[in-house]
Amino acid sequence: MSKVKTKFCCQECGTESPKWLGKCPGCNAWNTMVEQVEVTGKSRGFQSSLTQKKEKATSIIHIESSLENRILSQMGELNRVLGGGVVPGSLILVGGDPGIGKSTLLLQMSHQMTEVGLKVLYISGEESVRQLRLRADRLDALSDQLFVLCETNMESIEEAIDDMQPDFIVVDSIQTVFHPAVTSAPGSVSQVRECTGHFMRIAKIKGIATVLVGHVTKEGAIAGPRLLEHMVDCVLYFEGERHHSYRLLRAVKNRFGSTNEMGIFEMIGNGLREVTNPSELFLSERPLGVSGSTVVASMEGTRPVLVELQALVSSTNFPSPRRMSAGIDHNRLSLIIAVLEKRVGMFLQNQDAYLNVAGGVKLDEPAVDLAAAVAIASSFKDRPTQPYDVVFGEIGLTGEVRGVSRIDQRVKEAQKLGFRRIIMPRKSMKGWTPPEGIEIIGVETVAEALTAALD
């Protein structure tokens, strides 16, 4: 016989407790424990709907190795982030802030899948059919192979998938879907975990590529338990500022490709348009002959991106100076300032320092250290850098400039945009021939780099 058990589950991390607690012992969040009723002894819903045959263990050398067939969309930026296209049978999770453009991106993606001969099912639990039609009219995403279903019941969704047999599924969003066998409310940890498990089995057994839209918390992480990100094959984050037209698509997990790739889109009146040359975009409004501005060549996955670093150093009237950064880790900024004080002799203890990456890009590569140091020194000494210089290199605590990877790609990207001089680590110049028409200056210390850039 079935038994009814009561438990309390944290809505932030999924920690379970037999009694209510004001503070979650797992994530230390307050007032997140919610009562849930669990019925034991009943069969799980997915076991009755999807039956699997028993598998036997196989030696790995007897398994045939083959490359997975990928489905290519018309947006090259999306294909780049996914590792070369959508893999059939994969489960993809897309997260982002409200209103950033997740539904717009996936509706355009669904329309492009129909143009390559696929049958697409778009499941919406937040919008009506008329709302989706209005968005499709604006995006010009109308196709007779694009089917729309406004449903939140997991059993009804499974029946629709069995009847239609689609090749591609979009669920917007997973927090609105519920299973009747689970007594908790839609969006709870149990419902999200259960429904994601159903979609995972549908994707793997039937070979249907499935995209799930996930809400995010105020900290920017996917709402619900971390188990949700472990279950899927790929986790994408759609980032950007609401007041800017540019959007960034990043992969933080990808079982079929690199997690360092970045796709750049521009939000226009009729949808999202991919940006094929981001370096030219980020440098389009760069001022020339102004102190505190430096161009750095950074790598985003396999793509070199040239970005402007802006620094502002000004005297302070407070006992402790301010250190603020946008686009670069705050701790990295403090480290660079400490190196400039100790190894170069700059007195920055009574100076406020602000560092910004123009264009809203986030850079976490150590190769941007040297460019940040040059920008800070340029603003402190009020000396502008050369307008056609590109600087990159990692800084050590002893003031040395350490080598970085993918030198040839960085230099070729700078040469393509008309830059004439590169200040880079001397250790990275071994075994590599620079192209003609561009000057390469190798430096070993931060002091040498500042002398080359500012004198």
CATH code where residue 184 lies: 3.40.50.300
Look at residue 277 in the predicted model and tell me its pLDDT: 85
Distance CA 174, CA 160 (A): 17
Is 62 inside a domain boundary?
no
* Residue numbering of the annotated binding site: 96-103
Say whether both 270 and 307 belong to one domain: no
Is 304 inside a domain boundary?
yes
Examine the fold and report which residue of 236, 260, 276 is the final residue of a domain before the chain moves on: 276
How many other CB atoms are found less than 10 A from the CB of residue 87? 22
**pTM flag (> 0.85):** no
Exposed e or buried b for every residue in 217-250, given b needs 16+ CB within 10 A?
A: eeeeebbbbeebbebbbbbbbbbbeeeeebbbbb
Specify the higher pLDDT residue, 334 or 37: 334
Distance CA 112, CA 146 (A): 10
For the record, the structure tokens of 53 come out as: 């045959």
Say whether both 169 and 229 belong to one domain: yes
Say whether both 21 and 79 belong to one domain: no
Does the pLDDT value for residue 48 go beyond 50? no
Look at residue 325 in the predicted model and tell me its pLDDT: 95
Distance CA 83, CA 78 (A): 9
Does the pLDDT value for residue 92 go beyond 60? yes
Specify the higher pLDDT residue, 283 or 222: 283
- 52 three-class SS: coil
> What mean pLDDT do residues 148-157 have?
95
CATH number of the domain where residue 313 is located? 3.30.230.10
For the record, the structure tokens of 131 come out as: 């709302």
Distance CA 130, CA 124 (A): 12
Q: What is the DSSP letter of 178?
A: B
Is 63 inside a domain boundary?
no
Look at residue 4 in the predicted model and tell me its pLDDT: 67
Helix axes 154-164, 189-206, angle to 10 degrees: 10
Is 61 inside a domain boundary?
no
Does the pLDDT value for residue 356 go beyond 80? yes
Say whether both 312 and 391 belong to one domain: yes
Examine the fold and report which residue of 222, 255, 276 is the final residue of a domain before the chain moves on: 276
- 198 three-class SS: helix
Does the pLDDT value for residue 282 go beyond 90? no
Name the least confident of 82-91, 243-252, 270-279, 419-428: 243-252
Is 54 inside a domain boundary?
no
Say whether both 19 and 76 belong to one domain: no
Structural domain count, the chain:
3
Does the pLDDT value for residue 112 go beyond 90? yes
Say whether both 255 and 361 belong to one domain: no
The pair phi, psi for residue 100, each rounded to 5°, is -80, -25
Does the pLDDT value for residue 192 go beyond 90? no
Look at residue 394 in the predicted model and tell me its pLDDT: 96
Is 234 inside a domain boundary?
yes
Say whether both 243 and 271 belong to one domain: yes
Question: Residues 259, 253: contact at Cβ < 8 Å?
Answer: yes
* Residue numbering of the annotated binding site for ATP: 96-103
Query: Structural domain of residue 155, as residue ranges?
Result: 72-276
Say whether both 267 and 305 belong to one domain: no
The model's confidence at residue 38, banded by pLDDT at 50, 70 and 90, is low
Tens of pLDDT, residues 383-416: 999 999 999 999 999 999 999 998 999 999 999 9
Place of tokens 């697409």: 120
Examine the fold and report which residue of 260, 276, 292 is the final residue of a domain before the chain moves on: 276
Is 113 inside a domain boundary?
yes
Q: Percent of the chain having pLDDT more than 70?
A: 92
Distance CA 340, CA 399 (A): 8
Look at residue 49 in the predicted model and tell me its pLDDT: 46
Distance CA 355, CA 376 (A): 8
Give the list of residues 6+ apart from residue 258 with CB closer than 8 angstroms, or none.
83, 251, 301, 302
Say whether both 206 and 243 belong to one domain: yes
CA end-to-end distance (rounded Å), the chain: 84
**Alpha helices of 13-63 — where are they, by DSSP H?**
45-49
Q: Strand 394-395 and strand 421-425: pairing?
A: unpaired
Say whether both 266 and 312 belong to one domain: no
Distance CA 147, CA 134 (A): 15
Handedness of CA 427, 431, 435, 437 (dihedral sign): positive
For the record, the structure tokens of 212 come out as: 């799930």
Question: 98, 122, 134: which is closest to 212 by C-alpha?
Answer: 122
Q: What is the DSSP letter of 436?
A: T
Is 439 inside a domain boundary?
yes
Distance CA 140, CA 106 (A): 13
Distance CA 37, CA 24 (A): 19
Say whether both 100 and 206 belong to one domain: yes
Say whether both 314 and 234 belong to one domain: no
